[in-house]
Amino acid sequence: MARINSPVGENQRNLYGDVRTIQTLLNKNSVITRPGHLLAEDGKIGPNTIARIRLFQEKVVRMRNPDGVIDPNGVTMRNLTLHANFHTTVNRTTRVPGITQEQFVQAAATLGCEVAAIKAVVYTESPRGAFDEKGRPSILYERHYFHKLTGGKYDSNPVLSNPTAGGYGKYSAQYGKLEEAMKLDKNAALRSASWGAFQIMGNNFKEAGFSSVDDFVKAMGTLQGQLDAFVRFIANNAHRKNALINKNWASFAYNYNGPAYRKNNYDNKLAHNYQKALSE
Protein backbone atom coordinates (compact mmCIF):
# COMPACT_ATOMS: atom_id res chain seq x y z
CA MET A 1 0.00 0.00 0.00
CA ALA A 2 1.25 3.47 -0.88
CA ARG A 3 2.15 5.86 1.91
CA ILE A 4 3.72 9.27 2.38
CA ASN A 5 6.18 10.48 4.98
CA SER A 6 5.07 14.10 5.44
CA PRO A 7 1.90 16.11 4.75
CA VAL A 8 1.19 17.10 1.16
CA GLY A 9 -0.81 20.12 0.08
CA GLU A 10 -1.13 23.80 0.67
CA ASN A 11 1.71 25.26 2.80
CA GLN A 12 3.16 21.82 3.63
CA ARG A 13 6.67 20.31 3.22
CA ASN A 14 5.65 18.67 -0.05
CA LEU A 15 8.56 16.28 -0.44
CA TYR A 16 9.14 15.23 -4.02
CA GLY A 17 8.36 11.54 -3.50
CA ASP A 18 5.29 12.26 -1.38
CA VAL A 19 3.82 14.68 -3.91
CA ARG A 20 4.42 12.25 -6.73
CA THR A 21 2.69 9.46 -4.80
CA ILE A 22 -0.33 11.69 -4.17
CA GLN A 23 -0.48 12.75 -7.81
CA THR A 24 -0.42 9.09 -8.87
CA LEU A 25 -3.17 8.15 -6.44
CA LEU A 26 -5.33 11.10 -7.51
CA ASN A 27 -4.91 10.07 -11.15
CA LYS A 28 -6.06 6.58 -10.30
CA ASN A 29 -9.38 7.79 -8.86
CA SER A 30 -12.04 7.75 -11.59
CA VAL A 31 -14.48 9.86 -9.55
CA ILE A 32 -12.33 12.98 -9.85
CA THR A 33 -10.02 12.20 -12.78
CA ARG A 34 -11.25 11.72 -16.35
CA PRO A 35 -9.14 10.32 -19.20
CA GLY A 36 -7.20 13.17 -20.76
CA HIS A 37 -7.23 15.19 -17.55
CA LEU A 38 -4.45 13.51 -15.61
CA LEU A 39 -2.21 15.47 -13.30
CA ALA A 40 1.44 15.68 -14.25
CA GLU A 41 3.20 13.20 -11.94
CA ASP A 42 6.21 15.47 -11.55
CA GLY A 43 6.54 15.60 -7.77
CA LYS A 44 5.88 19.34 -7.76
CA ILE A 45 3.02 20.83 -5.76
CA GLY A 46 0.99 23.40 -7.62
CA PRO A 47 -2.52 24.83 -7.97
CA ASN A 48 -3.74 21.92 -10.13
CA THR A 49 -2.64 19.29 -7.61
CA ILE A 50 -4.06 21.23 -4.67
CA ALA A 51 -7.34 21.75 -6.52
CA ARG A 52 -7.54 18.01 -7.24
CA ILE A 53 -6.91 17.24 -3.57
CA ARG A 54 -9.76 19.56 -2.58
CA LEU A 55 -12.02 17.96 -5.18
CA PHE A 56 -11.23 14.50 -3.84
CA GLN A 57 -11.95 15.65 -0.30
CA GLU A 58 -15.27 17.08 -1.44
CA LYS A 59 -16.49 14.29 -3.73
CA VAL A 60 -15.05 11.17 -2.08
CA VAL A 61 -14.16 11.98 1.54
CA ARG A 62 -17.25 14.21 1.83
CA MET A 63 -15.48 16.88 3.83
CA ARG A 64 -17.58 19.99 4.47
CA ASN A 65 -14.55 22.25 4.29
CA PRO A 66 -11.83 20.68 2.15
CA ASP A 67 -8.47 22.00 3.32
CA GLY A 68 -6.29 20.77 0.45
CA VAL A 69 -3.95 18.93 2.83
CA ILE A 70 -3.21 15.20 3.04
CA ASP A 71 -1.69 13.89 6.27
CA PRO A 72 0.19 10.56 6.21
CA ASN A 73 -2.30 8.93 8.59
CA GLY A 74 -5.30 11.14 7.88
CA VAL A 75 -8.71 10.31 6.49
CA THR A 76 -7.89 11.69 3.03
CA MET A 77 -4.85 9.43 2.66
CA ARG A 78 -6.80 6.40 3.80
CA ASN A 79 -9.49 7.09 1.22
CA LEU A 80 -6.95 7.72 -1.52
CA THR A 81 -5.36 4.31 -1.09
CA LEU A 82 -8.73 2.62 -0.60
CA HIS A 83 -10.32 4.02 -3.75
CA ALA A 84 -7.34 3.99 -6.14
CA ASN A 85 -8.13 1.95 -9.23
CA PHE A 86 -4.85 0.10 -9.75
CA HIS A 87 -4.53 -2.24 -12.69
CA THR A 88 -4.31 -5.80 -11.44
CA THR A 89 -2.21 -7.15 -14.32
CA VAL A 90 1.43 -7.51 -13.36
CA ASN A 91 4.34 -8.33 -15.65
CA ARG A 92 5.39 -11.61 -14.10
CA THR A 93 8.80 -11.55 -15.75
CA THR A 94 9.87 -8.78 -13.39
CA ARG A 95 9.25 -10.78 -10.26
CA VAL A 96 12.20 -12.05 -8.27
CA PRO A 97 11.62 -15.75 -7.51
CA GLY A 98 12.27 -16.62 -3.90
CA ILE A 99 12.10 -13.20 -2.23
CA THR A 100 8.93 -13.45 -0.21
CA GLN A 101 6.59 -10.63 0.66
CA GLU A 102 7.59 -11.11 4.29
CA GLN A 103 11.25 -10.57 3.41
CA PHE A 104 10.39 -7.41 1.50
CA VAL A 105 8.27 -6.15 4.40
CA GLN A 106 11.07 -6.75 6.90
CA ALA A 107 13.62 -4.99 4.70
CA ALA A 108 11.27 -2.04 4.20
CA ALA A 109 10.65 -1.78 7.94
CA THR A 110 14.39 -1.74 8.62
CA LEU A 111 14.95 1.06 6.13
CA GLY A 112 11.74 2.96 6.87
CA CYS A 113 10.67 2.91 3.23
CA GLU A 114 7.89 1.33 1.18
CA VAL A 115 7.99 -2.26 0.00
CA ALA A 116 7.17 -0.97 -3.48
CA ALA A 117 10.27 1.24 -3.40
CA ILE A 118 12.54 -1.77 -2.80
CA LYS A 119 10.75 -3.77 -5.48
CA ALA A 120 11.26 -0.87 -7.90
CA VAL A 121 15.02 -1.25 -7.45
CA VAL A 122 14.85 -5.01 -8.03
CA TYR A 123 12.68 -4.72 -11.12
CA THR A 124 14.94 -2.04 -12.58
CA GLU A 125 18.26 -3.69 -11.76
CA SER A 126 17.57 -7.34 -12.52
CA PRO A 127 14.75 -7.84 -15.05
CA ARG A 128 16.28 -11.22 -15.90
CA GLY A 129 16.25 -12.33 -12.28
CA ALA A 130 18.68 -12.64 -9.39
CA PHE A 131 20.42 -15.72 -10.82
CA ASP A 132 21.37 -16.92 -14.29
CA GLU A 133 20.36 -20.19 -15.95
CA LYS A 134 23.21 -21.98 -14.16
CA GLY A 135 22.10 -20.78 -10.72
CA ARG A 136 24.90 -18.22 -10.39
CA PRO A 137 24.21 -14.67 -9.18
CA SER A 138 23.38 -12.39 -12.09
CA ILE A 139 26.33 -10.11 -12.86
CA LEU A 140 27.35 -7.31 -15.16
CA TYR A 141 31.07 -6.93 -15.76
CA GLU A 142 32.27 -3.31 -15.78
CA ARG A 143 35.51 -2.95 -17.71
CA HIS A 144 36.11 0.65 -16.63
CA TYR A 145 36.12 -0.43 -12.97
CA PHE A 146 38.78 -3.03 -13.73
CA HIS A 147 40.81 -0.36 -15.55
CA LYS A 148 40.62 1.98 -12.57
CA LEU A 149 41.34 -0.66 -9.94
CA THR A 150 44.37 -1.98 -11.81
CA GLY A 151 45.71 1.39 -12.95
CA GLY A 152 45.20 0.54 -16.61
CA LYS A 153 47.78 -2.23 -16.35
CA TYR A 154 45.73 -4.58 -18.54
CA ASP A 155 44.39 -2.12 -21.11
CA SER A 156 46.01 -4.17 -23.85
CA ASN A 157 42.82 -6.22 -23.59
CA PRO A 158 40.15 -3.52 -24.02
CA VAL A 159 37.31 -6.00 -23.55
CA LEU A 160 38.43 -6.57 -19.96
CA SER A 161 40.10 -3.25 -19.13
CA ASN A 162 39.09 0.04 -20.65
CA PRO A 163 38.87 3.63 -19.39
CA THR A 164 35.52 3.94 -21.18
CA ALA A 165 32.42 2.30 -19.73
CA GLY A 166 30.26 0.06 -21.90
CA GLY A 167 31.06 -2.79 -24.25
CA TYR A 168 28.97 -5.12 -22.13
CA GLY A 169 28.10 -7.61 -24.82
CA LYS A 170 25.64 -10.42 -24.28
CA TYR A 171 24.23 -11.32 -20.89
CA SER A 172 25.64 -14.83 -21.35
CA ALA A 173 29.17 -13.42 -21.83
CA GLN A 174 29.48 -11.75 -18.42
CA TYR A 175 30.92 -14.66 -16.45
CA GLY A 176 33.37 -15.45 -19.21
CA LYS A 177 34.79 -11.93 -18.99
CA LEU A 178 34.81 -12.04 -15.20
CA GLU A 179 36.73 -15.33 -15.20
CA GLU A 180 39.31 -14.01 -17.66
CA ALA A 181 39.77 -10.88 -15.55
CA MET A 182 40.17 -12.99 -12.42
CA LYS A 183 43.19 -14.67 -14.03
CA LEU A 184 44.79 -11.23 -14.19
CA ASP A 185 43.68 -9.85 -10.81
CA LYS A 186 41.06 -11.75 -8.85
CA ASN A 187 40.32 -9.07 -6.27
CA ALA A 188 39.94 -6.31 -8.85
CA ALA A 189 37.81 -8.53 -11.08
CA LEU A 190 35.31 -9.39 -8.34
CA ARG A 191 35.08 -5.73 -7.44
CA SER A 192 34.45 -4.85 -11.10
CA ALA A 193 31.11 -6.68 -11.41
CA SER A 194 27.68 -5.78 -10.12
CA TRP A 195 25.94 -8.65 -8.38
CA GLY A 196 22.54 -10.19 -7.77
CA ALA A 197 19.00 -8.87 -7.63
CA PHE A 198 20.13 -5.39 -6.62
CA GLN A 199 23.24 -5.26 -8.83
CA ILE A 200 25.51 -3.92 -6.10
CA MET A 201 29.05 -3.37 -7.31
CA GLY A 202 31.62 -5.65 -5.74
CA ASN A 203 33.70 -2.52 -5.18
CA ASN A 204 31.06 -1.43 -2.66
CA PHE A 205 31.54 -4.49 -0.45
CA LYS A 206 32.42 -2.39 2.61
CA GLU A 207 29.29 -0.24 2.38
CA ALA A 208 27.31 -3.46 2.02
CA GLY A 209 28.71 -4.61 5.37
CA PHE A 210 31.51 -6.99 4.40
CA SER A 211 35.18 -7.06 5.34
CA SER A 212 36.27 -8.44 1.96
CA VAL A 213 34.92 -8.74 -1.55
CA ASP A 214 35.22 -12.53 -1.26
CA ASP A 215 32.77 -12.51 1.66
CA PHE A 216 30.48 -10.23 -0.32
CA VAL A 217 30.50 -12.55 -3.34
CA LYS A 218 29.83 -15.56 -1.12
CA ALA A 219 26.76 -13.82 0.32
CA MET A 220 25.46 -13.19 -3.20
CA GLY A 221 24.83 -16.93 -3.45
CA THR A 222 21.48 -16.60 -1.66
CA LEU A 223 18.56 -14.23 -2.07
CA GLN A 224 18.60 -13.45 1.64
CA GLY A 225 22.27 -12.59 1.38
CA GLN A 226 21.55 -10.28 -1.53
CA LEU A 227 18.67 -8.62 0.31
CA ASP A 228 20.68 -8.16 3.51
CA ALA A 229 23.56 -6.62 1.54
CA PHE A 230 21.14 -4.20 -0.10
CA VAL A 231 19.64 -3.13 3.23
CA ARG A 232 23.09 -2.40 4.66
CA PHE A 233 24.20 -0.67 1.46
CA ILE A 234 21.23 1.69 1.69
CA ALA A 235 21.34 2.14 5.47
CA ASN A 236 25.03 3.08 5.41
CA ASN A 237 24.46 6.09 3.15
CA ALA A 238 22.09 8.80 4.42
CA HIS A 239 21.56 10.41 1.00
CA ARG A 240 20.78 7.09 -0.63
CA LYS A 241 18.45 6.08 2.17
CA ASN A 242 16.54 9.38 2.23
CA ALA A 243 16.14 9.32 -1.54
CA LEU A 244 14.63 5.83 -1.38
CA ILE A 245 12.32 6.76 1.49
CA ASN A 246 11.12 9.90 -0.29
CA LYS A 247 11.02 8.21 -3.69
CA ASN A 248 13.22 10.91 -5.15
CA TRP A 249 14.26 8.70 -8.01
CA ALA A 250 16.69 11.13 -9.63
CA SER A 251 18.60 11.54 -6.37
CA PHE A 252 18.50 7.81 -5.71
CA ALA A 253 19.69 7.03 -9.23
CA TYR A 254 22.60 9.45 -8.83
CA ASN A 255 23.66 7.91 -5.52
CA TYR A 256 23.06 4.31 -6.56
CA ASN A 257 24.31 4.30 -10.15
CA GLY A 258 26.41 7.44 -10.47
CA PRO A 259 26.14 10.70 -12.41
CA ALA A 260 25.66 8.95 -15.78
CA TYR A 261 22.25 7.57 -14.76
CA ARG A 262 20.42 9.88 -17.19
CA LYS A 263 21.96 8.11 -20.18
CA ASN A 264 19.99 4.99 -19.30
CA ASN A 265 16.83 6.82 -18.20
CA TYR A 266 17.39 5.11 -14.86
CA ASP A 267 15.31 7.47 -12.72
CA ASN A 268 12.28 7.18 -14.97
CA LYS A 269 12.59 3.39 -15.03
CA LEU A 270 12.58 3.39 -11.22
CA ALA A 271 9.49 5.62 -11.14
CA HIS A 272 7.72 3.35 -13.64
CA ASN A 273 8.60 0.18 -11.75
CA TYR A 274 7.51 1.74 -8.46
CA GLN A 275 4.05 2.26 -9.93
CA LYS A 276 4.10 -1.32 -11.20
CA ALA A 277 5.01 -2.58 -7.73
CA LEU A 278 2.14 -0.62 -6.21
CA SER A 279 -0.23 -2.53 -8.46
CA GLU A 280 0.68 -5.92 -6.99
pLDDT score of 115 more than 60: yes
Question: What is the torsional sign of CA 33, 38, 43, 45?
Answer: negative
Helix locations, the chain, DSSP H: 16-27, 47-59, 75-83, 101-111, 115-125, 143-149, 174-184, 186-191, 213-219, 223-235, 238-246, 249-257, 266-278
Instruction: Kindly report the average pLDDT of the chain as a whole number.
Output: 90
CA 14 to chain centre: 21
Contact call for residues 41 and 23 (beta carbons, < 8 A): yes
pLDDT score of 88 more than 50: no
Question: Bigger pLDDT: 133 or 176?
Answer: 176
Using CA atoms of 210, 213, 219, 225 in order, give the dihedral in degrees to the nearest 10: 50
| pLDDT reported for residue 24 | 87
Q: Work out the average pLDDT over 188-210.
A: 97
